[in-house]
Chain A
Amino acid sequence: MAADVHIWWIGADAPDDRLMEAVRARTAAAFGIQSRLYRHPDRPHQAFDPRRGQHWSTAILRWIVARDQPGLRTLAITDADLFIPVLTFVYGEAQLGGRAAVVSTMRLALEQTGRHDTALVTDRIVKECVHELGHTFGLLHCDTPGCVMQRSVNLIEVDAKAVALCGSCEARFRALREKDGHHEQGTHPHPRG
């Protein structure tokens, strides 16, 4: 079956297979789409800013678009800390209505309680992956409490929201998807699966 989203691990360390599988399964469930894991051999070294010691997320998105499969969406996951030039950090970035998204596990994995909580960290990463993918489908930030499309600027806000879209985002997603589907069929007739 053709995949709608490719999920790449582009971190420096080896991927956590259980985490990657959780992201694949739960993003697929959240949007009702097909997701597939893909091990990309390259790394976006040029996105690294030595002055800040962080990776520029927008440069990673450009790097993805130069390598991805047209007609598909690509979600890259990294253990590098991400930034955009005006901000100290971002958890992730996506092209609004585009085809690339990136999420960093680095700050989401930070321990707050003094003990590592794998399930909590996995939840956070999944939420941010669903959130950034939502942007690629054209969804904006949502003010509904608990909706995964709420903007989160700290871990408390990430933890406070669910993995799922709220009713109105769900409806908007379906409408956008319908429009997007027609468009994709016309423009990219041979998606790789």
Chain B
Amino acid sequence: MSKERTRILVVDDEEIVRESLSGWLAKDGYTLATAQDGPTALEMLRQARWSILLVDLKMPGMDGLQVLESSKQLQPDVAVVIMTAYATVETAVEAMKAGAYDYLVKPFDPEELSLMMVKIVAQQTLVRENVLLRKVLKRDFHFRDMVSKNPAMHRMFDLAKSAAKSQSTILILGESGTGKELLARAIHAESPRQAAPFVAVSCAALTETLLESELFGHEKGAFTGALARRKGRFELAHGGTLFLDEIGDISPKLQLDLLRVLEERRLVRVGGTEPVDVDVRIIAATNRDLKKAVADGQFREDLFYRLNVIPILLPPLRDRREDVPLLIEHFLERLGVETGRRIEGVSADALAALMRHDWPGNVRELRNVLERGMVVAKDTIVQAEDLGLSAAGIRTEAFDPNLTLDEVERRHITAVLQHTGGNVTQAARTLDIDRVTLYNKIRKYGLRRGDDDGFAGG
């Protein structure tokens, strides 16, 4: 920021101070103005943008701390320097607590004032440059909500953008937590179907019967508890996009049913006889090796080819470590908005730990680790110890003798899910329970899972 663009407002009830200070600073080329009291200063803040406020602490009526507080509400980025005639630790602490940039004891040393102004201007210039850089970053590295500067990811973004314009079925392949649903949503948002619904189904979350009813709907009386006719996800997505996640986990019977719907573009509700036409664009996703599943006879070859029209591979985070700093910034900004907590960044140690980590749970795990770090952080910078990453790259939890069995179960499930990167099938296997039981427990403990954001837990 150039000096002319640095606007300084001197607020002091003494005319001599206002004149001498503004006269001294004006020779540096700053734009200067003065106010004789707090209300006048606040009015000037309402009317124009100011870079720096030099405010006298003791003024009749509204004192300097009140001006500081109100000015921060009007213009949060303004740097407020409190001037005081008496140096007391209490005053300094109070001013700094209230958000003052610094304080000066009158009369101040010219060197101190000069250096402080230079420092504030340099800092504000950096902030401005940072904002500009972020805008450039957003433009260059974003595909909707996905960020990356990795060349392979950019090629993938290009492919996804082209594919979005077509009607073809897309198969997204990638490990858990790489952002498959996020990509599917981005493709939908870029497609001509953007105004119609985007409907997501996690095929692994439901039993065969429930999934069948969920996908195709059912007629009244189709089964016990089917009290009314219900539209399935295919019908709900009519005109839009249906995202079938964890497609590799569906049963052979459903594979066949799905193949029929994809081929005929029509379905029959469970318990019904009338065919219903559906116009949906299918985006399927899996973390399994479908070719191997076909070879092993676990997945129908004809369905595989029906789905694998435009395959898009999402690389794991460990193969694009250069994205970690960019993703950190992206998530901290996002989480800041969601939680209302302002975090400026991560410390150098924390960044080193995040860069070292292997990220088996990929981007979703990174987001969860940062969310924990934000909650635990004592100030606006997330430190390495706030992240809960051990030296070996595994998250640690301390033993707590006061926990209930339910709480231990909740924490263990959360930890296992985080370890598997949110892969429920894998987690169920580790926990030696079936998938549906695990889903029930996820629901019971409120381990949120939505929009590919992963599981929130201790």
Contact = CB atoms under 8 A, between A and B. Distances in A.
Contacts of A58: 19-20, 23
Contacts of B352: none
Given A58-B19, A96-B23, A88 B110 contact: yes
B150 to A, nearest CB: 40
B59 to A, nearest CB: 15
B24 interface: yes
Contacts of B23: 58, 84, 96
A85 B113 CA distance: 13
Contacts of A83: 107
Contacts of A140: 27-29
Contacts of B20: 58, 84-87
Interface in A45-99: 58, 83-90, 96
A141 interface: yes
Contact of B110 (A85, A89, A96, A135): A89
Interface string B13-38: 01011011101101111000000000
Contacts of B110: 87-90, 153
B26 A151 contact: no
B108 interface: yes
A88 B28 contact: no
A154 interface: yes
A87 B150 CA distance: 54
What range describes how many residues of B lie at the interface? 20 to 34
Interface string A104-143: 0000000000000000000000000000000100001100
A89 B83 CA distance: 17
Contacts of A88: 107-110
Nearest to A132: B27
Contacts of B220: none
B27 A141 contact: yes
B1 to A, nearest CB: 13
Contacts of B29: 140-141
Given A58-B20, A96-B23, A151-B114, A86 B107 contact: yes
Given A58-B19, A58-B20, A87 B26 contact: no
What range describes how many residues of A lie at the interface? 10 to 19
A58 B24 CA distance: 11
B106 interface: yes
Contacts of A85: 14, 16-17, 20, 107
**Which interface residue of A58, A86, A96, A140 has the most chain B CB atoms within 10 A?**
A86
Nearest to A149: B27
A151 B27 contact: yes
Contacts, number: 54
B111 interface: yes
Nearest to B56: A86
B52 to A, nearest CB: 15
Nearest to A83: B107
Contact of A153 (B21, B26, B114): B114
Contact of B28 (A84, A90, A151, A154): A151
Nearest to B26: A96
B27 A135 contact: yes
A69 to B, nearest CB: 24
Nearest to B24: A84
A84 B106 CA distance: 11
Contacts of A86: 17, 20-21, 24, 83, 106-108, 113
Interface string B102-141: 0000111111011000000000000000000000000000
Nearest to A95: B23
A87 B107 contact: yes
Given A83-B107, A87-B109, A96-B23, A141 B17 contact: no
B85 to A, nearest CB: 10
Contacts of B28: 140-141, 151
Contacts of A87: 20, 24, 107-110, 113
B69 to A, nearest CB: 23
**Which interface residue of B14, B20, B21, B26 has the most chain A CB atoms within 10 A?**
B20
A83 B108 CA distance: 11
Nearest to B16: A85
Contacts of B21: 84, 86
A86 B108 CA distance: 6
Contacts of B106: 86
Contacts of A154: 111
Contacts of A135: 27
Interface in B126-185: none
Contacts of A151: 27-28, 114
Nearest to A57: B20
**Which interface residue of A83, A89, A141, A154 has the most chain B CB atoms within 10 A?**
A141
Contacts of B109: 87-88, 153
Contacts of B83: 86
30 contacts: A58-B19, A58-B20, A83-B107, A84-B20, A84-B21, A84-B23, A84-B24, A85-B14, A85-B20, A85-B107, A86-B106, A86-B107, A86-B108, A86-B113, A87-B20, A87-B109, A87-B113, A90-B110, A96-B23, A96-B26, A135-B27, A140-B27, A140-B28, A140-B29, A141-B27, A151-B27, A153-B109, A153-B111, A153-B114, A154-B111
Interface of A: 58, 83-90, 96, 135, 140-141, 151, 153-154
Interface of B: 14, 16-17, 19-21, 23-24, 26-29, 83, 106-111, 113-114
Given A58-B23, A86-B83, A86-B106, 4 more contacts: A84-B20, A86-B108, A89-B110, A151-B28
Q: Which 7 A/B pairs are nearest by Cβ-Cβ distance?
A: A84-B20, A153-B111, A153-B110, A140-B29, A85-B16, A141-B28, A86-B21
